Structure formats: structure tokens, C-alpha cells
Amino acid sequence: MNSRRSWVIFGIGVFAYLVAVMQRTSIGVAGVAATERFHVSAAVLSSMAVVQLIVYAAMQVPVGVLIDRVGSRALMIAGTALMVVGQVTVAFAPTIALAIVGRILVGAGDATVFNSLMRLVNSWFSGRIVPQLSQWIGNIGQLGQVLSAIPFALLLHQSGWTTAFLSAASVSVVALVGIVAAIRDRPLGSSEGPRPATWRESMRQLRISLARPGTQLGFWSHFTTQSSGTVFSLMWGLPFMVFALGIDPAEASGLLIVSVVAGLIAGPILGLLTARFPLRRSNLVLAIVAMMGIVWALLLLWPGTPPLWLLILVLVAIGIGGPGSLIGFDFARTSNPLHSLGSANGIVNVGGFLASFVMMFLIGVALDAQNTAHTVAGLYALDSFRWAFAVQYVIIGLGVVFLVRARRRTRRLLAEEEGIEVAPLWVALVDAWRRRDGREPGENVQ
């Protein structure tokens, strides 16, 4: 554990995840080229990205079960190979239908990498470094967006569709070779326990993981922290900035990088806090949710057009929500045995994407309902977005209710099984202050 071999496996695994994120986001910068190549409407074109994400989310639990059943290495090999086939299919696709098939393969392959890597980290590392590495996985992986936004986009513009997507596929081939050569599921002599011997045992293990309050706490943590940033960056952020706020499209695209940078800075800090205060992880999650709620309220209630500094503040807040969602996987890690962690992580990973899909759809419904003039200007009016974005408070508010309930059950179980009582945060802060003043916790102040 925590050996040189562990770090080699971590490095190759993170590279494979970075490449997977690049493949996932490559279609986002190819919109104009795809319109010219396939001669289809924007609505049809958007189906490539939407279908890919639906496949990714739908496969999380099955992939988690398979990780526990056959191991991370096999899943990463299969998934990376699928992405190669998918991108090659897109490269040569003569029709939009075949291109969508290619993106479905990319989504299916992408779905295997993150959970497999999280499982490997828990098999090859131990101690306080684990939650910090989980944050670094998310942070480094997001740099894949930069690869798709700069070198891939440049290649697409200069060399054309087929060359760009074949080049992207070739990077996955490099990752595939690294996985085959170096990745192993667990160290020799590992005490993880046996894998499920049958599929019936795998499903029983999944049900047990789902029933654990800590897994549910991880699900709702992911649900509440990831969704706002995902919805903004993948669908509604650009229309809001361009049409409602009047920002130049190129500048609006550049502003989305603010969220990525905020996540890169916040991730290591959250990893350290998670490792240092494991009994206060839910407080971190709730603090991030509260922060996002406050800055969104300022933006939506601002009289007239909100200033640029306030938009940047929102982008920073939702950027912090990205690494904040990774705390959910730490709940799964400490609430489940290693031999069922793949299933637990799969359950957690569904949370943010479920909230995102529901939120995306309801925001679109709210915008359509207010567009009585049936014009683009009416659809994307600032006042329409104010009401539409308010949908977030309903979805995330519901998630917070279930998060608090799951936290209560998790703490009750912790007290019953390990005798650890977690006092309310304000009590812990008062006791810490008294210790700092040289008084015993709970001592009366005269």
C-alpha cells in the first residue's frame, strides 16, 4: 500500500481518466463542424451529447457491480477500447445516425473509467491520502476539457473532422496500452476479501450497499453539489450569458474556464479538510450548497442586468461544487467494505447526473412556458431565466432534505456500532474554543 507501484498505477489511471474526459467533451467543440458535415438542425445535433450523457449515467450502477465482480482492470480495458471504437466510428460516420452510435460507444466506455480508478485508489492506497487523491483524480481529469477545447479544436479547424477524431482515438490507444501494461486490481496479499462468486451474490451485495445510510449520504451529497455546475456548463450557461446578459459568445466560452480553475484550487483544499475532519464532511457539503444558494440568489434577484463580477462569483461557486461532489465518494468509502465499493461508488455517481437531467429538463420547460411570443429573444430573456434557474432551489432543496435524513441515520449507526457520538457543529466549535482558552469542554463560563 502507498508504494512506488501504487503511484505508477495512479498516474496511468489518472491519464486514462483525463483522456476519457477529453473524449467525452470533444463533441462540445465540434458543433459547427458537425452541422456542416451532417446538415442537421441544432436540436438533432444536440442529441449526440445528450444520448452520450444518458448512457454514461445509466451505466454507473451496472459498471459498479462489474467492478466488484471482475475487477477495475478489465473494465478500464473494455471501456477505453470502446472509446477508441466510438471515436473511429464518429470520424468516418457519413450520417448523423452513425455518429450518434459512435457517441453512445464513447459514453459507454467513459462510464467505466472514473469508478474503476476510484476503486483502484482504495485498493492501492490507505490512510488520509485517499480522500486527497480522490480530489486530484477529479481535478486532473477536468484538464481533459482543456485538451478538447484547445489542441483538438485546433486540429479540427486545420485538418478536418476525420483527422481530428482519429487523433483523439489514438490518444485513447496510448491510454489503453498503459492500462494493459501496468494496471493491476490489487496488491499481492491484499485483505479485501473474495469477489462475488455469482451474479446473484453481486446483486445481493448491491442491495446491501444501497441500504447503507452512508451510501445514501454519498448519493445525496453528489446530488446536491454537482448538478448546478453540470447544468450550467453543459446546457444553459452559454444561452444565459450570451442572450440574457449580452456577453460575446467567445468571451462567454472563456468564462466557463473560471469554474474549472475554481475547482482546481478548491479540490486539494477540500481533500485536506475531508481527511482532517472526517466526522464533519457533511458540514462541508452543506456549506458548499449554502454558498451556491446564496450567490445564485444574489444573481437572480439583482435588479436589472447582473454585473460581471457577480457572474464570476457564481461560476466560482458552482466550480467548487464539482470537487465538493467527490466528498460523496468518501462517504461510500468509509461506509462499505472494499469488496463492494464499486457498487457503492456507482450508486453515488448516479446522484449528480440524475439531478442534472431533471434540472435541465425543468429549466427548459420553465423557459418554454414563459415564451408566449415564441421568439428566441423571448425564450432566453433575462426575466425568463430568473424563474427558470429558480428550479434549482426545488431540486437541490429536496436533495438537502434527504441528505440531512441520511446523515442522521449514518450518525446513529456510527454511535451504535463504534460508540462515536457526533455532536452538532456549534457544540464542537464551542468546545474547541474552550479548549483553546484552557477550559475543559462543557465547563461553565463564569
**pLDDT per residue as tens, the chain (446 positions):** 678 899 999 999 999 999 998 898 787 667 667 777 887 765 566 667 678 878 888 899 999 999 988 889 999 999 999 999 999 999 999 998 999 999 999 999 999 999 999 999 988 998 888 888 888 898 888 888 778 877 887 898 889 899 999 999 999 999 999 999 999 988 887 767 777 778 888 888 889 999 999 999 999 999 999 999 888 877 788 788 888 899 887 788 778 788 888 988 998 899 889 888 888 899 999 999 999 999 999 999 999 999 999 999 999 999 999 899 999 999 998 888 888 888 899 999 989 888 988 888 888 888 888 877 666 667 788 988 999 999 999 999 999 999 999 999 998 888 887 777 776 666 666 666 766 666 554 443 33
What's the confidence (pLDDT) of residue 376?
Answer: 63
Enter the C-alpha cell of residue 140.
486532473
What's the confidence (pLDDT) of residue 35?
Answer: 72
What's the confidence (pLDDT) of residue 445?
Answer: 34
Instruction: State the greatest distance between any 2 C-alpha atoms of the chain, in Å, as a whole number.
Output: 81
Give the model confidence (pLDDT) of 402-444 as tens digits. Answer: 999 999 999 888 888 777 777 666 666 666 676 666 655 444 3
On whether the CB atoms of residues 386 and 300 are closer than 8 A, the answer is yes
On whether the CB atoms of residues 222 and 285 are closer than 8 A, the answer is no
What's the confidence (pLDDT) of residue 286?
Answer: 95
On whether the CB atoms of residues 317 and 254 are closer than 8 A, the answer is no
Angle at the Cα of 24 (from 20 to 25), degrees rounded to 5? 120
What's the confidence (pLDDT) of residue 446?
Answer: 30
Matching CATH topology for 1-182 and 199-436?
A: yes
Q: Which stretches within 125-256 are classed as H helix?
A: 129-147, 153-159, 161-182, 199-211, 213-231, 237-239, 249-255
CATH for the 1-182 domain, from 1.20.1250.20, 2.40.160.20, 1.10.443.10, 1.10.10.10: 1.20.1250.20
Amino acid symbol at 211: A
Q: Which residue has the cell 470502446?
A: 82
Domain 199-436 grouped into CATH 1.20.1250.20: yes
What's the confidence (pLDDT) of residue 212?
Answer: 92
Separation between Cα atoms, residue 307 and residue 150, nearest integer Å? 28
What's the confidence (pLDDT) of residue 32?
Answer: 64
Sorted by where each begins, the domain ranges of the chain are 1-182, 199-436
Could you write out the DSSP letters of every residue in 397-443?
Answer: HHHHHHHHHHHHHHHHHHHHHH------HHHHHHHHHHHHTTPPTTP
